[in-house]
Amino acid sequence: MISGILEKLRHAFTKNHNDRETSSTEKWLQILLVSSVGVTALVWGVRELKWLESWELKVYDQMLRSRPVQSPDRRILLVTITENDLEREQWPLSDNTINQLLKKIQSYQPRVIGLNIYRPTQLNLADGIGNRNHIIATCLLSSMGRAEISPPPNFPIDNVGYNDLIPDSENDQIIRRSLLFAQHQDKKCKTRFSFAALTAISYLEKSGVELDFPDKNHFSLGKTIFPILTPNYGSYTNLDAKGYQLLLNYRHPAHFAQEVSLTAVLTNQVNPELFKDRLVIIGTTAASVHPGLYTPYSAATEQPARMSTVYIHAQIASQIISTVLDARSLIWDWPDWAEFLWIWAWGLMGGTLAWRSRHPLLLAIAGGTTLIVLVGICFGLFLLSGWVPLIPSALTLLITGMSVRAYITYQTQQQTQLIIQQVEQQKEVIEQLDILLKETQVDSTRIHDEHHHFPKIVTPEKTTGDFLLSGRYQISKILGSGGFGCTYLANDTQRPGNPTCVVKQLMPARRDTKFLQVARRLFNTEAEILEALGKHQQIPELLAYFEDNQEFYLVEQYIPGHTLSEELPPVTGLQKEKVVINMLKEVLEVLEFVHEHRVIHRDIKPTNIIRSAEDNRLVLIDFGAVKLMQPPNSEETELATVAIGTRGYAPPEQFAGHPRLCSDIYALGMIGIQALTGIQPQEIHPDQETGNAIWRSHAQVSEELAAILDKMVRYHFSDRYQSASAVLQDLESMSK
């Protein structure tokens, strides 16, 4: 199914030199699907090898211990033989003591009595008790290295249950399952029922609840159906699930059931009402007789390391009875396909977080929060008795996130290296362009010639026929025009829905062959840089670029909205400091991305920043050294050198033809000052000695923000902030 989706994606989106049809979202969808499915399959395979089982079982134990304490089971009473009792009675207990205890308890009218003590040598068990049907004795099945222990010879086998308990593995020896019914070949301990199951069933039968086996995978008590364990139940893998096994749903040992001691019963120190109509289970808790077995509660600090077998059998009996009479939930799980989808979903979550959270700290916070949510969901389901995979889901979440993050880092490094190479090529082309422009004196004839070759503006009225730019772009509106060319709003007729895009027409300053060759190299290099930068959500995506009739065209994503100039004085009033800080941060985050690729925007100004109408974010537009091939505009740029920039916003070194990364920071700082003072940057007077802008007296601003803006717009570039991240760090420290 997944391979089919990916195949459709590969065929649906194609790319050529002039057209990038596959968007970054679609590309990352493919990466996300591939990585999440691959990691999920890997984790699933590791899980099938049982390498995760011990971790998952430890998590199961922890969740079991962490549940709210349930009320004690009032149907069960434990008669325990403690170390103190053994100081009074010698072990093993005499036949007389056992019978005396049974008669005493019998007189208190319990519903069922379970004797969880091996008494194969007692020939007269329950002597003197007329009806023995409600008394359950025990024996022990044979196992590796141990012979079977036979039941009391004078007791019917129907009233005997085996005392065996099955640990999970040789590693932890923890009792999490109960073997209720078993097929075996023992000659003495012939019973098919466990001691716990037989006592519970005998108790329920006296309420009219009958045992039945509707199929090999279930047994029922009355209307309650018990599904038995399967080899891959919950987090088990290839479990030996022979016989009818049930996952133990323990009650907290400290709040399980009432208990009285052997001595207290024999010396009449108990209330007879405690026994009436209850399931009474007799067994030893003395460690000198049996050290007990490990359970999920063994790791609890307030509990003993081992639990006596009589407690474990009582827990099993309590679970069966409560399930039938109280509708207490059994521990349930999901089928394999649902668990796979669950694990895969968390892989998708991890990959999505890595894709969306580009900053490592933000990713760590988001990943940690998601892990907490995962644990919370799994524990919440466990409170509803659901056992769903936690460790595989967490591993898939983390591994997918790390793999996607690693891929993004690798791709970013590759793109950065490529862009750096392109930027170096761009510098070489600019130098060649500078030489060509200086070779010829600018005279009136040249100027006339250049104006003669200005592009013909294509108006919407002239496109009412079949005319399509490059055979696909239907011009609908002119956004701007001048000596450099024209910017159009157009519809792409070759894409579904004819989406709106922006077409920028760029005309070289000269039409001679030599100049066109250099201009073409600059255009292609610049387009490749813009194509890479357009992957950022706050930079328009470059959709296509081409040459037609010695004119160059860029086709970019259309960003509906308004320019930042509409949010600044005199269009609006003076902006508040908080608004200015947020504006600076948002643009600086884009510049941080741009500068990481060693790219200089060169023309940061309010009209080149758009407030997107879709998500209200600021979008940086109109990059480009491609403007160098255009005729200079005396109203905006210095004429002495090949330079890009707008007077007032561009710093001195940029007009000298040597822009730096901090040149963009200077321009943004001027926008911030304009927002606070309402003064156009061209009208701000510099200090006669330092050349630094004098503006503070025109604004009500905190000392912290003023100091940051001053450092952003220092006259000498070496005195300014050298990176956008450094400015962001200082702005962030203001809000703390």
Q: Which residues are catalytic?
A: 603
Contact 80, 261 (CB under 8 A): yes
DSSP states of 584-605 = HHHHHHHHHHHHHTT-------
Contact 679, 673 (CB under 8 A): yes
Question: By C-alpha distance, which of 393, 394, 402, 395 is closest to 357?
Answer: 402
Tell me how far apart the alpha carbons of residues 464 and 363 are, in angstroms, rounded to a whole number.
51
Tell me how far apart the alpha carbons of residues 579 and 73 are, in angstroms, rounded to a whole number.
64
Dihedral sign for Cα 333, 337, 339, 345, please: negative
Strand, coil or helix: 322? helix
Q: Which amino acid is at 464?
A: T
Tell me how far apart the alpha carbons of residues 87 and 72 are, in angstroms, rounded to a whole number.
29
Strand, coil or helix: 606? helix
Q: Give the H/E segment covering residue 478.
A: strand 473-482
Beta strands at 135-139 and 112-115: parallel, antiparallel or unpaired: parallel
Q: Which amino acid is at 206?
A: K
Q: Which amino acid is at 388?
A: V
* 570 upstream amide cis, omega within 30 of 0: yes
Q: Which two tokens stand for residue 514?
A: 């030599």
Q: Which amino acid is at 278?
A: R
Question: By C-alpha distance, which of 438, 97, 43, 93 is closest to 237?
Answer: 43
Q: Which residues pair with 105 in a beta bridge?
A: none
Beta strands at 279-284 and 112-115: parallel, antiparallel or unpaired: parallel
- For residue 407, give Cα distances in angstroms to 35, 358, 411, 459: 10, 12, 6, 46
Strand, coil or helix: 310? helix
Contact 235, 177 (CB under 8 A): no
Contact 340, 98 (CB under 8 A): no
Alpha-carbon torsion angle 138, 142, 143, 146, nearest 10: 100
Span between the terminal Cα atoms of the chain, in Å: 50
Q: How many residues in total does the chain contain?
A: 736
Contact 172, 182 (CB under 8 A): no
Query: What is the SS3 string spanning 191-208?
Result: CCEEHHHHHHHHHHHCCC
Dihedral sign for Cα 78, 83, 88, 92, please: positive
Convert 319-341 to b/e letters by CB count within 10 Å (16 or more is b): bbbbbbbeebeebebbeeeebbe
Q: Where are the alpha helices (DSSP H) in 508-601?
A: 513-533, 577-596
